[in-house]
Amino acid sequence: MQTKSPVVARKAEEADIERLIELRKHLLSGGAGHYAAQSPEEESAWQDSYRAWLYKNLQDNPLILVAVASSDEADEIIACAIGIIDERAPMKGILNGRSGWVQTVVVDPNWRGQGVGEKVMNYLLSWFQEQEVGKIVLQTTAVAKTLYGKLGFEETGEDLLYKQLP
């Protein structure tokens, strides 16, 4: 499908932080997931913590890339994605131990279904490749599963579990 106007992906900057928080609200504000805020206090807490995390990691952390997408037609960022490099013990497919994690892939609802998610993901995948990352993992929703399949992601057959520590 054609986008409304050309979409450009780039590294996020400090000036993008408030819009990144707005986009992440689509994932973390309400909803049924274990990660979703269920009260005004939880909402405020994740936003304050995410803002501080962005200020700390946007420029100074070589293991994190926050990617954004924009269009001449939009006055603001229309999508984002975060890539994080983990340095793990070597295994098949990642003998250097560098694996990637993708999180917070969000496309503004007005721009969904127009290739914007694919554009921001391809930017992130290129960065991972430049950083010699051997494998990339992500957690998905049913809505985004088709996009990730198109980009070559496969199911692992494993369950994702979590434990909240006090």
Residue 150 CB neighbours (<10 A): 11
Which fold does the domain 7-150 belong to in CATH? Aminopeptidase (3.40.630)
Average pLDDT over residues 63-81: 93
Q: What is the pTM of this model?
A: 0.91
Domain range list for the chain: 7-150
Residue pLDDT, tens place only, 88-143: 999 998 999 999 999 999 999 999 999 999 999 999 999 999 999 999 999 988 88
Q: What mean pLDDT, rounded, does the chain reach?
A: 91
Distance of CA 157 to the CA centre of its chain: 22
Asked if pLDDT for residue 2 goes beyond 70, the answer is: no
Q: Distance between CA 85 and CA 94 in Å, rounded? A: 12
Of 8-22, 24-38, 71-85, 143-157, the range with the highest mean pLDDT is 8-22
Average pLDDT over residues 15-19: 97
Asked if pLDDT for residue 60 goes beyond 50, the answer is: yes
Residue pLDDT, tens place only, 28-45: 887 777 788 888 899 999
Q: If you compute the radius of gyration of the chain from its CA atoms, what whole number of angstroms results?
A: 16
Q: Distance between CA 57 and CA 53 in Å, rounded? A: 6
Q: Distance between CA 153 and CA 22 in Å, rounded? A: 27
HSE at residue 57, side-chain half, CA atoms within 13 A, is: 15
